[in-house]
Chain A
Amino acid sequence: QALLEQSGAEVKKPGASVKVSCKTSGYTFTNHDINWVRQAPGQGLEWMGWMNPNSDYTGSARKFQGRLTMTRNTSISTAYMELSGLRLEDSAVYFCARRLAYWFDSWGQGTLVTVSS
């Protein structure tokens, strides 16, 4: 079955950038989009963006446009999410998720990003 393993927790200062990795296994990486979803402490799920690992096409929520970069390394079946210009309110758990048809069937375990001065 599909397995998504994310990189470890990060602590960043305001204005910095963070890059989270999502290493996949158990399926053909280029066959399914990877989505990124975040969850601020005590809050709901917020969809951020998607990336097609085959074409490298991406799309993102309007609020992240200009700050969110999604990339991939197909040789190691890994997707990356980089968020720049970090603000205190970007402190959250960031999840990657595989899109199967029209739903997200497999998720990473989450990566806690803390933005603190």
Chain B
Amino acid sequence: DIEMTQSPSSLSASIGDRVTITCRASRDISTFLNWYQQKPGKAPKLVIYGASTLQGGVPSRFSGSGSGTDFTLLISRLQPEDFGTYYCQQSYSSTFRYTFGQGTKLEIK
């Protein structure tokens, strides 16, 4: 199976900061990479799909980039509602085994 590794595991940032979360795949996954945000006690919410396409309703301060094995989620100006845990997910697997990264917990200072 394709393994996904995120960094950092956690971070603390201030309102208005620029925040970057990275995700690395164990092999080339082209742009089959998705990002989800999860808040405590809630289901994950799709933020970005196809590495860089913003899901409808998601603020434009979120952006994604990358291809191959290295990907980035950028929050340009952090807002209080952006706290939570972010997960990357590969969707390259031909057998539909869409594995997740271990998550990055984002806390607001």
Give the B-binding residues of A (Cβ under 8 A): 33, 35, 37, 44-47, 50, 59, 61-62, 95, 97, 99, 101-105, 107-110
Contacts and interface: CB of A to CB of B under 8 A. Distances in A.
Nearest to B87: A45
Contact of B44 (A33, A99, A102, A107): A107
A103 B31 CA distance: 12
Contacts of A61: 1, 97, 99
A88 to B, nearest CB: 21
Given A103-B91, A105-B55, A47 B97 contact: yes
A59 B87 contact: no
Nearest to A107: B43
10 contacts: A44-B103, A45-B103, A99-B96, A102-B91, A102-B98, A103-B34, A107-B44, A107-B45, A108-B43, A110-B43
Contacts of B49: 101-103, 105
B7 interface: no
Given A102-B50, A102-B91, A103-B91, A33 B96 contact: yes
B96 A50 contact: yes
A110 B43 CA distance: 7
B83 interface: no
B95 interface: yes
B86 to A, nearest CB: 11
Contacts of A103: 34, 46, 49-50, 89, 91
B102 A102 contact: no
Interface in B33-66: 34, 36, 38, 43-46, 49-50, 55
A99 B98 CA distance: 10
A102 B100 contact: no
